[in-house]
Amino acid sequence: FQMDTTPESYLDLFPLDAIVYLTPDSENVLEDIDPDKVYVLGGLVDESIHKQLTLQRAREQCLQTARLPIREYMVKAPNSRNYHSETLAINQVFDILCTYYETRSWPVALKAGVSSGKGFVLREGVEQ
């Protein structure tokens, strides 16, 4: 992948209506990747302290939001810690988006990108 870095804000580089801020707290499900949109991947260290921070930031900036379709294709797996989290690291989100773009399959992308430590597994019967 080719990357450019800049000290400028994405708000200064792209039209607001082209930006989609990805946040696990969005009500909107990302159903497909639109090549005319710019997707912002945020990064937070502690998901419990910063609950809904990315959603709040996107709303303050009047941006569209979306979340990965984890709830639509995955279920909470029984585990001894009873830990389930839809908050992913930036590299996981990036890998999921790349895999989806290549395969056009959310089950394939989510299975590859959501680690078992997050407490989710693909729903039974979901086609890959």
Q: Catalytic amino acids?
A: 46
CB within 8 Å of 48: residues ≥ 6 apart = none
Query: Which amino acid would we find at residue 75?
Result: V
Report, in angstroms and rounded to the nearest whole number, the Rg of the chain calculated over CA atoms.
15
Give me the residues paired with residue 120 across strands: 76
User: Could you say which DSSP state residue 69 is in?
Assistant: S
Residue 94, number of CB atoms within 10 A of its CB: 15
